[in-house]
A and B are shown apart, each in its own frame.
Chain A
């Protein structure tokens, strides 16, 4: 069993982006109280199976916290939990927060991986997405982070925007690569419920990309990045050799992870639970000495198999054949997928091809 990962959901943003469905709120004055609560929550889990070998500060926007708050947060985590020496310590950062000493401060705290939410390098696209920063700011931030010399730099991008063409998208990608990121997360735009973009779609002011376009974007992205030396290792993730995101891999290979903060999810190998999506309830529960859990489920064997299928088939590592041996006629089912070019079989594993990754949500259905 691999080591556990630790995730902290920082539930604050300066402003909400038009596409984002994650839980966060914009009243930054609540941050210091929240940090106290987080401290309490962390202590409730001090016996969670450690040591951790990944720590991920996500959100929200962790970089809206002040330097002293960031320091306090890191200190708290390092005091309560134990970590391997080689721990991957990622912080998600917003380009407009990367100013002055922040990169140096992050380095001092032990951060060795920065994931920068660039999303696009075109002004009109950034405006459409409701990002606060300009393209120029993003590029500046990239330079600064690069110069600070973190072990890994990851960049988040969004594609498949209304009006975007494949050539404009590839231009953005090409430009992005000039900053030599070690890792890229390229997410196809998803119109999440309860977001401004979803509303625009409902009002027919914007149109969802056609399936055919989505497919072309996906294939073009993969082909281009693979050519440039990045491994397409998960549906939306690309890494230079040795720079896979250790923390995110835990989600896909079902390693344990502890999630702290509102709306964070945790998994200890047999059970999953998730925290409340309200800062107030989060605080109230902790003040009463309870974990701020909103729901929990203990996984049955059937649940486990389903998870292995749906997670495994999202990554190029695929699934072990043993997992589907009990499925009636599993052989002919796999063969059908193989003949359709969706999977290959290698060393007792079923691995999705690129075409397979494009159908990753449908593949598990063949075996359930």
Chain B
């Protein structure tokens, strides 16, 4: 737990009544919502209301503790917390709020958190109404057979239209309008009603403390002093410190050092039993050894079968990292190793490029995940590195029958030897007001969308379903959708597998030198368009040099696009100020620093930003 967090708590939270420990009145729940519908604010209010922090210590969005999360206003790494609550009837409860990440990149993590609950608060913004993620989250909750409590938030907004939202929920979600609770998490109204609904409507957990241990891992994070802190939900059995436990997916065993509950700080406890949600420390060195969705059981008395739903998380977006200066390679190795301790979803392996030298090929859950990793490596490890254009994983069947999986354009096979090329597709579900249908369809068609289906869940609103190549949505599809629908469109997707596609490899040459790290695998129909866009974008990104720089796009040696960065026409100041050489030198030092953030390719300095920016070329 980080320093400001500790400061905040100062050891004042009221103890959970003993009776709760011995006679657990437990409720396990999550809050699910479309992004920006106020999930974190509601979580903060619940924490504040139950007295875990005093009003004075209350800091907005307590659960989103990472700086990055705060800046982006989204939850990346989820936190869980046990809230003490005395119901209106006088009974004491322990409410386990299991926080979930709020982005489509992390939908598997969300599903495991939901599997640990008996109920959810389904939060809907009173002015925006039901959105794509509201629905996908609801379906997920329904798959787990959870009790759903609809909560309409932000009723304080002038644009709030509670009646409209209630009707939508009824029609689109089949949730009776009378069951919805109205609240404003920002103003703190309706919070008590929410808490009462949690204890009244959500059933307590069931399970047998005497049965063999079966605990679901729904989160894990790394603590530099204790190793991995595993967040888990016990379905059956009991776990105590000293127990030998086994992870059922890979059969590794560990000795439990400590178990306990998440309050604002971790609070050790003798044991966790069936129905409880808490943490376990067992001398595990990296989060990669714990797999979200895995089942923990006792080595001596194992459960018969693991809990259902476990999946290996597989990266879908790939990009390479190269240190800007080759001297920083070792620092990058260390940073990745450290970072990986706390992010099991990141995978990486050594990679090398003719243009950029030694680096790493990394796999990410999605583009947001990629950006988070990039920002955290830069921020927390002060590294300057190049990240190459993101790619998806392609499948090539060669004439000799071999099947190649390629996530790096550098390993694109000889086109003559390729019998069949395939690329991954997703099924996109888009919610949009009817009036934007034309623009949405145009966007999807530009992105090679097929199999359009339309549903009209409510007058004026449409659900548009398209099958799209993943490669076409990983970068700016969501931004684009937001902008053409003026913020009203929302989007969710699921991977649906490989489909045959006509692919080519597009190379880029800077001053006649091929920069392999800029290569792209693209659909042949879109190749020329890409080539032109990327050349134009590189022209904007590459600063002027003392000489003219030619940028060319090529397919197999044939140039199909070009642009030119013209040479600097003047770069000199008239005076050296009365012997003030220091000022001049400081300026040069600053420029030198800027240059350090660029990569020399031949005689050309290519800024870090150019490598990823090329894909964001499509902006008006």
In the complex, which residues of chain A have a beta carbon less than 8 angstroms from the beta carbon of B592? 365, 368
Task: Say yes or no for A25: interface residue by CB 8 A criterion.
Answer: no
Given contacts A332-B603, A359-B546, is CB(A274)–CB(B582) below 8 Å?
yes
Chain B residue numbers with a CB within 8 Å of A295 are 582
Least CB distance from A287 to B in Å reads 25
A336 to nearest B CB, angstroms? Answer: 5
8 closest pairs, A vs B, by CB? A265-B579, A362-B571, A340-B547, A360-B572, A187-B574, A188-B574, A215-B570, A359-B571
What are 10 A-B residue pairs whose CB atoms fall within 8 Å in the complex?
A: A9-B578, A214-B569, A236-B574, A266-B579, A306-B585, A306-B589, A336-B547, A337-B546, A358-B569, A359-B546
Q: Kindly provide the distance from the CB of A358 to the nearest chain B CB, expressed in whole angstroms.
A: 5
Q: Is the CB of B578 within 8 A of A187?
A: no
- Flag the segment in A35-43, A128-136, A251-259 that touches B: A251-259
| Residues of B that sit less than 8 Å from A by CB | 546-547, 567-582, 584-585, 588-589, 591-592, 595, 603
Name the A residues within 8 Å of B595 (CB-CB).
365, 368
Complex: A339 Cα to B572 Cα, angstroms: 20
Tell me whether A359 and B582 are in contact (CB under 8 A).
Answer: no
A304 CB, nearest partner CB in chain B, Å: 10
Taking a contact as CB atoms under 8 Å apart, the answer to whether B578 and A358 are in contact is: no
Do B574 and A310 have beta carbons less than 8 Å apart? no
Are B547 and A365 neighbours in the complex by a CB distance under 8 Å? no
Interface of chain A, main secondary structure: mixed
Minimum CB distance partner of B570 in chain A? A215
Q: How far is the CB of A170 from chain B (nearest CB, A)?
A: 18
Inside 8 A of B568's CB, which chain A residues have their CB?
359, 362
A67 nearest CB across to chain B (Å): 25
Partner of A274, one of B547, B576, B580: B580
A21 to B567, CA, bound (A): 31
In contact, B569 and A251 (Cβ under 8 angstroms): no
Do A340 and B579 form a contact, CB below 8 Å, given A306-B585, A357-B572? no
Known: A306-B589, A365-B588, A366-B546. A235 touches B572 (CB 8 A): yes
Which residues does chain B contribute within 8 Å of A358, judged by CB atoms?
A: 569-572
Complex Cα spacing A9 to B591, Å:
30
Give how many A residues have a beta carbon under 8 Å from the other chain's beta carbons: 54
Binary flags per residue of A47-68, CB closer than 8 Å to B gives 1, else 0 = 0000000000010000000000
CB distance from B240 to the nearest CB of A (A): 61
Asked if A272 lies at the interface with its beta carbon under 8 angstroms from chain B, I say yes
Q: In the complex, A320→B578 CA distance in Å? A: 24
**Residue A233 at the chain B interface, CB threshold 8 Å:** no
Is A85 an interface residue, CB under 8 A from the partner? no
Beyond A214-B570, A358-B570, A365-B595, is A7–B578 a contact (Cβ under 8 Å)?
yes
Contacts of A357 in B (CB 8 A): 572
Chain B hits for A187, CB < 8 A: 574-575
Does A205 belong to the interface (CB within 8 Å)? no
Residues of A within 8 A of B574 (CB): 187-190, 235-236
Complex formed: what's the CA distance from A217 to B79 in Å? 64
Rounded to whole Å, the gap between the CB of B612 and the closest CB of chain A is 24
Q: A263 to nearest B CB, angstroms? A: 8
Residue A364 CB within 8 A of the other chain: yes
Complex Cα distance, B592 from A358, in Å, reads: 19
Shortest Cβ gap from B384 to chain A (Å): 16
Q: Which residues of B contact A361 (CB under 8 A)?
A: 571-573, 588
Q: Which of B546, B578, B581 contacts A272 (CB 8 A)?
A: B581
Interface contact A307-B581, CB-CB below 8 Å: yes
Q: B-facing mask of A247-279, CB < 8 A → 1, else 0?
A: 000011000010100011111000010100000
Q: Contact at B579–A336, with CB atoms within 8 Å? A: no
CA distance A214 to B546 in the complex (A): 16
CB atoms of A311 and B576 under 8 A apart:
yes
Assuming the contacts A267-B579, A311-B581, A368-B588, asked whether A359 and B570 have C-beta atoms less than 8 A apart, the reply is yes
Q: Which residue of B lies closest to A59 (CB)?
A: B578
Nearest opposing residue in chain B for A251, CB measure: B579
Cβ-based interface call for A22 (8 A): yes
Given the complex, which residues of B lie within 8 Å of A263, measured CB to CB?
A: 578
Beyond A340-B547, A359-B568, A368-B592, whether A251 also contacts B581 by CB under 8 A is yes
